[in-house]
Amino acid sequence: MATTIIRRTVASAARVAAPIESIGVVGLGLMGHGIAQAAATAGMHVTGVEREQGALDKGRGRIETSVGKLLARQVSKGEIDQASADTEAARILGNLTYATDIERVAQCDLVIEAIVEDMAIKVPFWSQLGALCKPEAIFASNTSSLPVTAQAVASGRPAQFVGLHFFNPVQLMRLVEVIGTEHTSAATLEAAQAWASRLPDKVVVTCKDTPGFIVNRLLVPSIAQALAMVDRADASIADIDVAMKLGAGHPMGPVLLADYVGLDTTRAILSGWVEAHPDEPAFFVPRCLEAKVAAGHLGRKTGRGFYVWEGDKPKGVATDDA
């Protein structure tokens, strides 16, 4: 038995020894298009996949718009001239191909999933990918809160599976969390860390497959505590947010942040953790959060939550009861 385990470990290490150069990104939405862009900027060949042509065109448009804006900013600052910007845009966009056929990622060295945050969808997705992709490919989920281990097992190659959690917007946020499970081989973890470190201006941290990883494990419960203060009328929403901005140096307060992220997203994370870890007192869903989601007031994305929004700008605390 011990000999078998050693042989499997050595085989897994050999499979991922080659450098990662070709990337498949499945899902080109808010996160996926940024991941694809970052990898293409780093000089890797990227295949972006969406199931529907409309979603694929939208993802491609997001990438092209983002590349143009970032380079235009460099031109306006005098860092590069327009000719250099045009050359760089052509280089980056030339590293990208697009497809609606999932089989186009079969020969990629690394396949990153950035689809909907729903285990009922992710598990069969990984089962399909495990049967489709070349044996040495590494798999990674960009999930922000769901268990990586269950996805790894579903893939049929848990030793070659990690979490790669990027932050929004990927093009500007520097952090990448690399998550290893109890099954992840040392070679896979090292390969994932090395790959993420090659991305433009990225800082890599590593942790185990704990709920929320590092950032969200600390951040989301702090949002829940802020909303519990709202439930108890301990302080006003405005004062809670001002206190954390000025007293703790946060760029925005926790209630405003919940609105910005999406109250439905915040609730989904917390309720999922409550279901999976019912004995953890840090995981609970505040009453005011439930009420806002039930009313359809989801924050920035709907124009109203705990704050009233105009586009991406909050205009003040909402005065309604819901």
177 is catalytic: yes
User: Which is catalytic among the residues 113, 141, 177, 185?
Assistant: 177
Rounded CA gap, 187 and 9, in Å?
9
The H or E element containing residue 158 is: none
Contacting residues for 196 by C-beta, under 8 A, at least 6 apart: 164, 176, 178, 202, 204
Among 32, 34, 24, 42, smallest CA distance to 109 is for: 24
User: Which is catalytic among the residues 12, 95, 216, 297?
Assistant: 216
117 is catalytic: no
User: Which is catalytic among the residues 144, 145, 155, 185?
Assistant: 144
Residues 135-150: b if buried by 16+ CB within 10 A, e if exposed: eebbbbbbbbbbbbbb
216 is catalytic: yes
Backbone angles phi, psi at 314, to 5 degrees: -75, 140
Among 187, 185, 266, 260, smallest CA distance to 224 is for: 266
Residues 16-32: b if buried by 16+ CB within 10 A, e if exposed: beeebebbbbbbbeebb
The encoded tokens of residue 125 equal 């997705």
Query: What is the sign of the dihedral through the CA atoms of 113, 47, 49 and 166?
Result: positive
User: Which is catalytic among the residues 50, 95, 165, 185?
Assistant: 165
Rounded CA gap, 126 and 135, in Å?
14
Q: Which ranges of 42-100 does DSSP label H, i.e. alpha helix? A: 53-76, 82-94
Q: Where in the sequence numbering do the catalytic residues fall?
A: 144, 165, 177, 216
